[in-house]
Structure 1
Amino acid sequence: PNVTAAEAMGGEEDPKEESHQGPSTLADVREEYGPAVEDLGVSEEEDLYRGAEELIQGPVKHAGPEALFEVTLPKVEDRCSLEPMLDILSYSESEWKGNTTKSTLIRTGYTKLSQRFGSLRQVRGDNYCALRATLFQVLSTSTQPPIWLQVEHISTWAEELEAREGLIGQWMFPSECRQGDGSEDAVQQLKRYMELLQNRWQAAVGCSSAEERQRLCERVFQGGEEELGLLEALKLLMLVRASEFHTTMQEGGDVPVFCWLLYARDSSDCPRTFLANHLSRVGFSGGLEQVEMFLLGYALQCTIQVYRLYMTDTEEFVTYYPDDHKEDWPCVCLVTEDDRHYNVPVGQPNGL
């Protein structure tokens, strides 16, 4: 039987999904979820999010993570998009020398991280960074596929979204993904990338050992069309989930709290503006904001645990995206020094 994207990704029937119903404005969210809003960087004096006119005028202070580069168009390189493993403490000492307050704080964070992991792999520092680090960890650790990945027709989700809301036609792809004779439209291209994601994920699950999964990831993450196509597929998954949540909100249904923050932005009040002003820029002129990390976790049905080193010795040192499925979703781990660039911790602590 046919299964819709909403049903495959959980829909409204998932009894495990922590949800919330009611607030319709950012002020309402602040009143009821003050601490949660502060965690995402929204305060009474400074708003994390930019309005549409501000996006045209240029960046403003506290407008979310800045672009790692003004415009980033990844180029194919004959090496893996993740550097070889480095000892965490050695990396910390070499990168954060000196006795400034920040250097000491970051080194302390790495010391705490080293109690769980022994090594670090640096992720290529472009604006796909958060997506790349997350997908690498997902593929290198998966032992079973999520339910939505097992639905045979996930490759049609782009076509469904285009027919229903007309969101796919103007999709922007990196240069490595503009290949062939040009006869393939955006829907067909995303369909191919969704099939590729399904195949690579299932191949990773089918590996007989962690070492075999690692070798598969080394082949996939080479910076070319295969890798970037997979990352564009993740963006499509995020858009499908965002559209589903928006429909539920309009119908008065229950959604996770972060959805009210996602759609409270002047520049992101519906799926169309979310795509135009935020998601389409990921990989090019901007990375993922924190609220979009929650969406990524829901899209993958995976908890993304992030060690935020600049928040060492605070309650936000370890953050979960999302934090309401830690018991029933698989978990992958990333590390960041600034909520902009993410690296991958791997391996057992030294001495174990």
Structure 2
Amino acid sequence: MLRQLDRGASKSRVQLPEPEKRNRVHQSSKQSIGRNELQFWTAAINQSLYIAWQKIERQLIIIMSFLVTALWYCRRLYAYLAQLLKWWSRYLHRKFKKNLSVLAEVDLLGYCAREWKGETKQAKQMKAAYKELFWRHHVKYIRPVRRDNYSALRAVLFQIFSQGIYFPPWMRERDILKLPEKLLYSQGCNWIQQYSFGPERYTGPNVFGKLRKCIETLKTQVELFLLGYLLEVKIRVYRLYKFNTEEFQVSYPEEYHRDWQEISLLTEDDHHYHIPIIRIRD
């Protein structure tokens, strides 16, 4: 009985109507064509993407190589420019510092430590002298002055200008070389007659001519005694190499008017002079 039913079912499945068979075949062929088209387009798209990527990859490699090379050159150029700028800055600093007549103020003891590093007898004396200035005379800072034959004149004039000290009336005359006569009669003649400037002594009938010559050549050698009289200022000088002697602190000129302003100088050898800065702290 069961076998008969199976045979009937199989016959019913196999014996389909002709239109239905054609419909199924048509659907199957369409599905097959669709799958083939999908595979074709998928392969085509993959192939196109692969070809495009190969071209883009080459360009990207070229671009990345160019960017890496450019970055390397930029870093080298930046390092070179930085070194050049640093060298130029140091050169200008040295040039500017060399051309300065009076430098900015620096700490007195720090300046001493840089200038006198050894343990020689002279170095110990200078260190003791600087400490004496710092603690007993309240000299806290120093303005270094260019070391040449003009250092005393530069130091004196700098303080006159910076402190607003008026020049004496005779300096407002039109012809400065004719002023020794007026200066002689206004201050007395003893200081000129008795004054010697190197091997030259200002005595005799040609004293004014010699004094004029002295003023003309003042830029080559400066004598603080004459400078104090000419500018009408009291010049106090701390002579460090004379430490622990009566000549450690001297004034030029020794005789001066009470209304004269006072300025200070500092020297280690009586040849080069600097400006001491006095600060009295509370």
CA distance in 2, matches of 1:93, 1:264: 35
- SS in structure 1 at match of 2:174: helix
Are the counterparts in 1 of residues 194 and 201 from structure 2 also a CA contact under 8 Å? no
Contact preservation (8 Å) 1:303, 1:321: yes
Which of 264, 271, 276 does residue 208 from structure 2 map onto? 271
Q: Deviations over 1:79-132 (max 9, x none)?
A: 642112111111112211222221122222211221322111111122221111
Percent identity, aligned pairs only, is: 30
Is 2:247 aligned against 1:316?
yes
Q: 2:194–2:202: 8 Å Cα contact kept in structure 1?
A: no
**2:244 match: secondary structure:** coil
Instruction: From 171, 196, 204, give the equivalent of 1:262.
Output: 196
Match of 1:177 in 2: none
Q: Secondary structure at the match of 2:139?
A: coil
Are the counterparts in 2 of residues 303 and 329 from structure 1 also a CA contact under 8 Å? yes
* Map of 1:337 onto structure 2: 268
* 1:272 shift after superposition: 2.6
Q: Distance in 2 between matches of 1:117 and 1:266?
A: 36
Residue 327 (structure 1) aligned to one of 258, 262, 275: 258
Partner of 1:157: 175
What secondary structure, in the 3-state scheme, does the structure 2 residue paired with 1:344 have?
Answer: strand
TM-score of the pair, normalised by structure 2? 0.55
- Residue aligning to 2:144: 122
Match of 1:105 in 2: 125
Quote how far apart the aligned CAs of 1:271 are. Answer: 3.5
Q: Distance in 2 between matches of 1:264 and 1:141?
A: 31
Q: Do structure 1's residue 297 and structure 2's residue 228 form an aligned pair?
A: yes
| 1:109 alignment partner, SS class | helix
Q: Report if the CA contact (8 A) 2:235-2:262 is conserved.
A: yes
Separation (CA, whole Å) in 2 of partners of 1:103 and 1:259:
40
Q: 1:325 to 1:254 in 2, by over 3 A?
A: closer
Letter in 2 for 1:83: L
Q: 1:100 to 1:296 in 2, by over 3 A?
A: same
Q: Quick check: 2:139–2:277 contact (8 Å CA) kept in 1?
A: yes
TM-score (norm 1): 0.45
Offset of residue 266 of structure 1: 4.2
Relative contact order (alpha carbons < 8 A, sep ≥ 6): 1 or 2 greater? 1
SS in 1 for 2:114: helix
Structure 1 portions without partners, runs of 5+: 1-75, 162-239
Q: Which residue of 2 aligns with 1:145?
A: 166
Q: Which residue of 1 aligns with 2:51?
A: none
- Cα RMSD (Å) of the superposition? 3.1
Q: 1:72-87 maps to which residues of 2 (within 5 A)?
A: 80-87=100-107
Q: Which amino acid aligns with 1:317?
A: F
Where structure 2 has 5 or more consecutive residues not aligned to the other structure, the ranges are 1-94
Instruction: Name the SS of the counterpart of 2:251 in structure 1.
Output: strand
Query: Counterparts of 2:161 and 2:148 in 1: how far apart (Å)?
Result: 20
More strand by share: 2
Measured in 2, the distance between the counterparts of 1:83 and 1:246 equals 36
Deviations 1:8-38 (A, max 9, x none): xxxxxxxxxxxxxxxxxxxxxxxxxxxxxxx
**Distance across 2 between alignment mates of 1:266 and 1:326:** 27
> Structure 1 CA distance, aligned partners of 2:127 and 2:266?
13
The alignment of Structure 1 onto Structure 2 pairs a total of residues equal to: 182
State the shift of 1:268 in Å: 4.8
Return the offset for 1:302. 0.6
